[in-house]
């Protein structure tokens, strides 16, 4: 078997190759060599002994990405259908007696909420920024390692003054056998918490700045307690790279006059209620 190198795409034999990872780094523990891994489409950090890893063939990788993109495209199609129905309801409410010319003028004016997205993974950030653009969500994105986000978040908030803030990257259990209620047992949950707290010092009102924070298996309760509106992961499961984007889109395109039931926000994600949770909020789309 060829030597596994940094940057290789691998899977874990002991997990039946269930998730594909990129090798981020190597470390030794008790004279045994391990690899630090990050998920290809899941916001997960994990580690595994080198002997448990197998290199993914190009054919497998191509099929993997086809499935990922198919699932994402299907979700986006559902979003555009929902948005079209929402717009019709808006017209019925605002222009009961409007003529076709008036409706055309209003269709040309769309002002969804704006987003600031700080992501610990540059590859994921680029995927998310492409999706924001495809869905017409104005967004500013920055690749900021998880441990640096709390240091710069206020700086970027002051610069862009967004309606929605996303703080994400990778997370996971450091040791699966330890207490999942202890924030010390997570790779990056403490860092997301620190960044949320800094953002809330900048804007205390949870309706004026809506925050999504967390990644795979993150300490959901502690992140919400820090001041986030939405967080991952209630059931400590893996979340998809695009889940924060789908949460954001629903809020950005819901009218400022409409409260959004939590179910409606979570139904728009790939992972669902096991992976994403939070509080009921109102939309920020101007009519």
Residue labelled with tokens 């994990």: 46
pLDDT tens string, the chain, 287 residues long: the values are 568 999 999 999 999 988 899 999 999 888 899 999 988 888 888 889 999 999 999 999 999 888 888 887 887 888 778 777 766 665 555 555 455 555 555 544 467 899 999 999 998 999 899 999 988 999 999 999 999 999 999 999 999 999 999 999 999 988 766 788 899 999 999 999 999 999 999 999 999 999 999 999 999 999 999 999 999 999 999 998 889 999 999 999 887 877 888 888 888 888 899 999 999 888 886 65
Which residues 6+ apart lie within 8 Å of 246 measured at CB?
75, 79, 268, 269, 270
Of 3, 68, 14, nearest to 46 by C-alpha is 14
Whole-structure pTM value: 0.83
**pLDDT of the residue at 69:** 81
Q: For residue 44, which phi and psi values (nearest 5 degrees)?
A: -120, 135
Residue labelled with tokens 């990050």: 38
Would you tell me the crossing angle of helices 58-94 and 243-252 to the nearest 10 degrees?
A: 10
| Angstrom distance (rounded) from CA 12 to CA 54 | 6
Structure tokens at 227: 């001041």
Per the CB < 8 A criterion, the answer to whether 43 and 124 are in contact is yes
**pLDDT of the residue at 108:** 42
The count of residues in the chain is 287
In three-state secondary structure terms, 256 is: coil
| Angstrom distance (rounded) from CA 176 to CA 172 | 9
Is the peptide bond between 233 and the residue preceding it cis, with omega within 30 degrees of 0? yes
C-alpha dihedral sign at 177, 235, 248, 130: positive
* Torsional class of 53: left (φ above 0), alpha (ψ -120 to 50), beta (otherwise): beta
Per the CB < 8 A criterion, the answer to whether 64 and 20 are in contact is yes
- The pLDDT tens digits for 55-110 are 999 999 999 888 888 887 887 888 778 777 766 665 555 555 455 555 555 544 46
CA dihedral 86, 253, 219, 45 (to 10 degrees): 110
Within 94-204, strands assigned E span: 115-119, 139-143, 164-168
CB atoms inside a 10 Å sphere around CB 258: 16
Of 192, 198, 243, 200, nearest to 218 by C-alpha is 192
| Angstrom distance (rounded) from CA 279 to CA 83 | 22
**pLDDT of the residue at 285:** 66
């Amino acid at each position: 078997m060829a030597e596994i190198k940094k940057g290789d795409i691998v899977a874990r034999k002991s997990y039946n190759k269930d998730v594909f990872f990129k090798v981020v780094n190597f470390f030794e523990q008790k004279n045994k060599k391990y690899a630090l891994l990050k998920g290809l489409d899941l916001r997960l950090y994990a580690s595994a002994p080198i002997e448990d890893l197998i290199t993914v063939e190009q054919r497998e990788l191509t099929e993997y990405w086809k499935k990922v993109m198919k699932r994402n495209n299907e979700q986006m199609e559902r979003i555009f259908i929902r948005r079209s129905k929402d717009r019709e309801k808006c017209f019925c409410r605002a222009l009961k007696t409007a003529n076709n010319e008036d409706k055309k003028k209003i269709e040309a004016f769309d002002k969804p909420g704006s987003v600031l997205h700080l992501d610990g993974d540059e590859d994921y950030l680029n995927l998310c920024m492409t999706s924001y653009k495809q869905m017409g969500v104005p967004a500013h994105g920055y690749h900021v390692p998880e441990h640096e986000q709390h240091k710069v978040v206020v700086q970027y908030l002051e610069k862009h003054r967004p309606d929605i803030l996303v703080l994400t990257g990778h997370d996971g259990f450091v040791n699966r056998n330890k207490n999942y209620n202890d924030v010390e047992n997570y790779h990056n949950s403490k860092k997301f918490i620190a960044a949320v707290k800094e953002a809330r010092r900048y804007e205390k009102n949870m309706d004026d700045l809506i925050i999504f924070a967390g990644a795979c298996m993150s300490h959901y309760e502690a992140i919400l307690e820090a001041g986030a509106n939405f967080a991952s992961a209630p059931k400590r499961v893996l979340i998809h790279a695009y889940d924060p984007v789908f949460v954001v889109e629903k809020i950005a395109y819901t009218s400022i006059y409409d409260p959004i039931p939590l179910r409606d926000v979570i139904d728009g994600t790939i992972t669902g209620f096991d992976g994403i949770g939070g509080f009921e909020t109102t939309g920020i789309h101007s009519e």
